[in-house]
Amino acid sequence: MGNVVVNTATKLDAHALRADFPIFEQEFHGKPLAFLDSAASSQKPRQMLEAMNRFYETSYANVHRGVYELAERATEGLEHARERTRAFINAPSTREVIFLRNATEALNLVAYSWGLNNLGPGDAVVVTELEHHSNFVPWQYIAKRQGADFLMLSIDESGDPDLSQLEEIARDHTVKVVATNLVSNSLGTIHDLVPLVEWAHEQNAIFVCDAAQAAPHMKLDVQALDCDFLAISGHKMCGPSGIGALWGRAELLQSMEPFLLGGHMISSVRADKTMWGELPHKFEAGTAPMAEAVGLGAAIDYLEAIGLDKIEAHEHELAAYALGRLGEVPGITLYGPSAERRAGVVSFNLEGIHPHDVAQILDLQGVAIRAGHHCCQPLMHKLGVAATNRASFYLYTIPEEIDQLVEGLYAVRKVFA
């Protein structure tokens, strides 16, 4: 049946893909760079950088304004990127795809524009203990401002929320918003959101999905997820910084007030009355991050050419390898679920050694990891630590980098012996 051949061909070749990423041509502290901080932000392939450059060099003018050909070309560039983004998340319409700075801005938009008009005393917003601050703080703030309750589902060791709390919450509150991540940036957990989405809709609540960490690693489908809003950030998925997207159901977006006000988001302005523009423009005040959007479109092209299923499989493999290798290091505590249930993220602590010190000594060996609370202080509180170390992987990560990390950890232990 030729299965064997097909199997090898379906694997991603990270060693070969690294050639697309100019950043790896440098050395740090005399060593090749083991870049294990992709969950914070990914590195950039030449193909994406070239697409942005080409846009600046051949198609740049302000969009949606000029009647001249160059402006039309720029508008086409932006709108093509919107179509690529729509297809990437399988949204029904490009009208529902709003370009913003990042996932944080997208989540704030929903919290403000939806929350300020729909939340009040007696209502509740439900998040989990595992949220990034960007899907936590805006809801905490808006709930408080509106006199609504802000509730946090506790999680277990794998990062899964405890659903047994839902019944009591539903009994005592009018749940209006359920907001959770699809993939955790700190534990790497890939959540099964189906039960929470179903529960949210039974409560007539909206379901807001923070997919900032999911979009780089797996195929997204807003219709299959059945969520109401979904936020992504370009910089985590091989795109440039300064571009993210919010998807929302058209009927919800239409009923909402705008978030930022000014040029481009209007249909008419008079002294006594201003009319909002059509979707998505109503939520895109000011000059758009057009080159960045083009970059995001090119990043999507890049990821899809490789195949998100292959990227996901590659990361599971790396997570399994890393959990195995790191597990050998004396005094290590590993956090989070089993390898099959996680994206390429491994958080850990070395007994008696603060993550800052671990990361600093690793840096001197050319290994870049993140040390801190990863914008997840409620989780740190739960784990009873101030901070963790986090190594995270992407399509260009190779097992040799994990070996370099493990060797580095032995050197860390020596310094603190």
Partner 1 sequence: MSGAFDQMYREVILDHYKNPRGHGTIEDPDAEADGQNPLCGDEVSIYVAFADDGETIAEVKFSGRGCAISQAATSMLMEMSVGRTATEVATMEKEELLEEIAIPLTPVRLKCAMLGLTTLKVALHKAKGTPLPEGLAGFDELELT
Ligand X SMILES: Cc1ncc(COP(=O)(O)O)c(C=O)c1O
Question: What residues are labeled active site?
Answer: 375
Q: Which does 134 bind (CB under 5 to 8 A by kind): ligand X, partner 1, none?
A: ligand X
Q: How many residues does the chain have?
A: 417
Q: How far apart are CA 318 and CA 399, in angstroms?
A: 7
- CB of 51 or CB of 406, closer to partner 1: 406
Q: How far apart are CA 305 and CA 286, in angstroms?
A: 33
- CB of 15 or CB of 144, closer to partner 1: 144
Contact between 27 and partner 1 by CB under 8 A: the answer reads: no
The number of residues that bind partner 1 (CB under 8 A) is 24
For the CB of residue 157, give the shortest distance to ligand X in the complex, in Å: 19
Rg (CA), the chain: 22
Contact between 163 and partner 1 by CB under 8 A: the answer reads: no
Q: How far is CA 411 from CA 25, 26, 103, 414, in A?
A: 25, 23, 37, 5
- Which one of the spans 1-9, 47-55, 130-138, 316-324 is the region binding ligand X (CB under 6 A)? 130-138
Contact between 390 and ligand X by CB under 6 A: the answer reads: no
Contact between 364 and partner 1 by CB under 8 A: the answer reads: yes
Residue 355 in contact with residue 389, Cβ under 8 Å? Answer: yes
> Residue 397: which of 386, 389, 405 has the closest Cα?
405
Question: Other CB atoms closer than 10 Å to residue 383's CB: what's the count?
Answer: 18
Contact between 387 and partner 1 by CB under 8 A: the answer reads: yes
Q: How far apart are CA 333 and CA 401, in angstroms?
A: 20
Residue 343 in contact with residue 315, Cβ under 8 Å? Answer: yes
Contact between 189 and ligand X by CB under 6 A: the answer reads: no
- Which one of the spans 86-94, 205-213, 261-269, 355-363 is the region binding ligand X (CB under 6 A)? 205-213
Q: Which does 103 bind (CB under 5 to 8 A by kind): partner 1, ligand X, none?
A: ligand X
- Which one of the spans 220-228, 283-291, 322-330, 408-416 is the region binding partner 1 (CB under 8 A)? 408-416
Residue of 42, 43, 108, 213 that binds ligand X (CB under 6 A): 213
Classify strands 244-248 and 97-100 as parallel, antiparallel or unpaired.
Answer: antiparallel
Cis before 216? omega within 30? no
- Which one of the spans 99-107, 215-223, 276-284, 403-411 is the region binding ligand X (CB under 6 A)? 99-107
- CB of 180 or CB of 365, closer to ligand X: 180
Q: How far apart are CA 256 and CA 238, in angstroms?
A: 31
- Tokens 């990227």 locate to 311
Contact between 392 and ligand X by CB under 6 A: the answer reads: no
> Residue 189: which of 326, 392, 345 has the closest Cα?
345
For the CB of residue 359, give the shortest distance to partner 1 in the complex, in Å: 9
Residue 397 in contact with residue 14, Cβ under 8 Å? Answer: yes
**Binding interface with ligand X (CB under 6 A):** 102-104, 132, 134-135, 181, 185, 210, 212-213, 233, 235, 244, 375
Q: List residues binding partner 1 (CB under 8 A).
A: 29-30, 137, 140-141, 144, 354-357, 360-361, 364-365, 371-373, 377, 380, 386-387, 411, 415-416
